[in-house]
């Protein structure tokens, strides 16, 4: 009775103290905050999120409708429908010319979930994760939530290009390092890791036993090649390697939340357990849309690349004619990661863009501690919308 009375008198203004302490110290997502801030501005143009303005192709949507009509609406295997796992295996053979058997492929409810499964399977509190920056903020936060430590190793930017210093990367490893986290092609810079660098990193992993977690979500968004180099093209079956992928970008399926993870054969039971107690698996009917995307989506990808190449050209022409805007043209993805001379406080600058010209862009500080002077713009939009956005940007920095 005494216990019940004390509970009734609890100070509920302190109820946050009952949650994990990590959520009191979790670093802020500056990009998400600016997007929320931009929603208050009428007629604002939002190019802060990583998605284009193209609808998901009809043939993908129709495949899901057919699947639902055929009764594919029940629980499925936690790591994906066998038909989709086999289709992903066939896709790797067709596009990358590599054999990845379906027992190494795990379907997930988004690429973000695939990354979460990868980190959950590896990290204990106090572990170190080497993260190549600039990098998507959500990945750094996922390391934080796991109570591990993200050790940032920035790319170099010089002579109009981004590059990775492998020696600096290897020198950053300690006896607490559990994994190296790398996104290639890079969100937000568009930098692409080459084959020699991939081989060197795999050799280092084999020597040290440190895992590589490779985010290859943008692998098909190379502007002049069929695909970016993949770790899977050079890896051995039992390497300490987990690769993350998603249907979101190449097939315009951001809202579908459908992705996949590839690991060594021994990962199957572990990832299955994590999925079982997390999402119970990706939505069953949506997986049939994934099959259609892989099987019939090449023409759509090529049509999107045509638009992105033209938009990249437009960006280069517009920025070259502006003495305050500095950009290294991206080799892949649909992002421009640029600086505005004299604007070092990117959060304040992005808020000013919303307030003064109705343009929502992502502040660079969200992509790493060395990125405070940068801004990210997603150019996967119509040429008319991009032109209007650039007009507003130029008006703001004139």
Q: What gap in Å lies between CA 95 and CA 68, rounded to an integer? A: 29
State yes or no: pLDDT of 236 exceeds 80: yes
State pLDDT tens for residues 86-122. 999 999 999 999 999 999 999 999 999 999 999 999 9
Name the more confident of 362 and 321: 362
Average pLDDT score over the chain: 94
199-208 mean pLDDT = 98
pLDDT (tens digit per residue) in 140-173: 999 999 999 999 999 999 888 999 999 999 999 9
Q: CA-based angle 53:246:384, to the nearest 5?
A: 15
Span 245-261, mean pLDDT? 98
Which DSSP state fits 96?
I
What is the predicted pLDDT for the residue at 3? Answer: 44
pLDDT at 2: 46
Quickly name the fold that domain 63-296 has.
3.40.640
Q: What gap in Å lies between CA 291 and CA 201, rounded to an integer?
A: 32
Unique residue bearing structure tokens 């990832």:
271
What global pTM score does this model have?
0.94
Helix or strand (DSSP H, E) at 294? helix 284-296
Helix/strand/coil for 291: helix
CB atoms near residue 92 (< 10 Å):
21
- 12 pLDDT band (50/70/90 cuts)? low
Half-sphere exposure of 194 (CA within 13 A, CB side): 7
Q: Would the pLDDT of 36 be above 90?
A: yes
Q: Domain-by-domain residue ranges, the chain? A: 13-55+299-397, 63-296
> Can you count the helices (H) and strands (E) in the chain?
14, 15
pLDDT above 90: residue 263: yes
Confidence tier at 5 by pLDDT (50, 70, 90): very low
pLDDT at 68 over 90: yes
pLDDT reading at 6 higher than 70: no
pLDDT of the residue at 40: 86
pLDDT for res 13: 57
The CATH classification of domain 13-55+299-397, taken from the options 3.10.450.50, 3.40.50.360, 3.90.1150.10, 3.20.20.70: 3.90.1150.10
**pLDDT confidence of residue 27:** 87
Please state the φ and ψ torsions of residue 229, each to the nearest 5 degrees: -60, 140
Work out the pLDDT band at 10, boundaries 50, 70, 90.
low
Q: Please give, one letter per residue, the 3-state secondary structure of 204-273.
A: HHHHHCCEEEEECCCCCCECCCCCCCCHHHCCCCCCCEEEEEECCCCCCCHHHCCEEEECCCCHHHHHHH
More reliable by pLDDT, 24 or 328: 328
Radius of gyration of the CA atoms of the chain, in A: 22
- Structure confidence at residue 8 (pLDDT): 56
Q: How far is CA 11 from CA 16, 18, 25, in A?
A: 11, 12, 22
User: Is the model's pLDDT at 227 over the cut of 50?
Assistant: yes
Q: What is the C-alpha to C-alpha distance for residues 273 and 268, in angstroms, rounded to an integer?
A: 9
Residue 16 has pLDDT above 80, yes or no: no
Q: CA 59, CA 51: separation in Å to the nearest integer?
A: 20
- The confidence band for 24, taking pLDDT boundaries of 50, 70 and 90, is confident
Q: How many CB atoms lie within 10 A of CB 147?
A: 14
pLDDT > 70: what percent of the chain? 96
At 1 the pLDDT is 44
């Amino acid at each position: 009775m005494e216990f019940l009375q004390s509970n009734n008198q609890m100070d509920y203004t302190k109820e946050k103290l009952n949650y994990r302490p990590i959520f009191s110290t979790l670093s802020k997502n500056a990009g998400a905050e600016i997007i929320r801030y931009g929603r208050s501005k009428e007629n604002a143009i939002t190019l802060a999120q990583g998605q284009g303005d193209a609808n998901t192709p009809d043939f993908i949507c129709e495949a899901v409708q057919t699947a639902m009509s055929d009764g594919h609406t029940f629980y499925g295997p936690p790591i994906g429908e066998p038909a989709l796992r086999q289709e992903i295996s066939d896709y790797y053979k067709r596009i990358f010319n590599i054999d990845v058997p379906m027992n190494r492929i795990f379907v997930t409810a988004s690429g973000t979930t695939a990354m979460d499964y990868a980190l959950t399977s590896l990290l204990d509190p106090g572990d170190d994760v080497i993260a190549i920056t600039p990098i998507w903020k959500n990945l750094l936060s996922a390391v934080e939530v796991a109570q591990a430590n993200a050790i940032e190793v920035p790319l170099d930017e010089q002579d109009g290009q981004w590059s990775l210093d492998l020696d600096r990367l290897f020198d950053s490893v300690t006896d607490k390092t559990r994994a190296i986290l790398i996104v290639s092609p890079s969100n937000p810079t568009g930098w692409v890791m080459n084959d020699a660098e991939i081989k060197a990193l795999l050799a280092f992993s084999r020597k040290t036993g440190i895992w590589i977690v490779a985010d290859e979500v943008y692998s098909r968004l190379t502007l002049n090649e069929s695909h970016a180099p993949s770790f899977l093209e050079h890896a051995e079956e039992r390497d300490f390697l987990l690769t993350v992928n998603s249907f979101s970008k190449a097939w315009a399926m951001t809202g579908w939340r459908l992705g996949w993870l590839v690991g060594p054969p021994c990962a199957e039971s572990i990832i299955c357990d994590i999925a079982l107690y997390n999402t119970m698996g990706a939505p069953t009917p949506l997986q049939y849309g994934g099959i259609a995307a892989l099987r019939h989506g090449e023409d759509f990808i090529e049509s999107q690349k045509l638009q992105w190449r033209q938009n990249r050209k437009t960006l280069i022409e517009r920025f070259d004619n502006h003495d305050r805007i500095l950009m290294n043209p991206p080799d892949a993805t649909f992002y421009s990661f640029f600086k505005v001379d004299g604007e070092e406080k990117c959060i304040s600058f992005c808020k000013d863009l919303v307030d003064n010209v109705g343009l929502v862009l992502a502040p660079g500080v969200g992509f790493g501690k060395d990125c405070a002077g940068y801004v990210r713009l997603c150019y996967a939009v119509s040429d008319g919308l991009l032109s209007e956005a650039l007009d507003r940007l130029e008006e703001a920095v004139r």
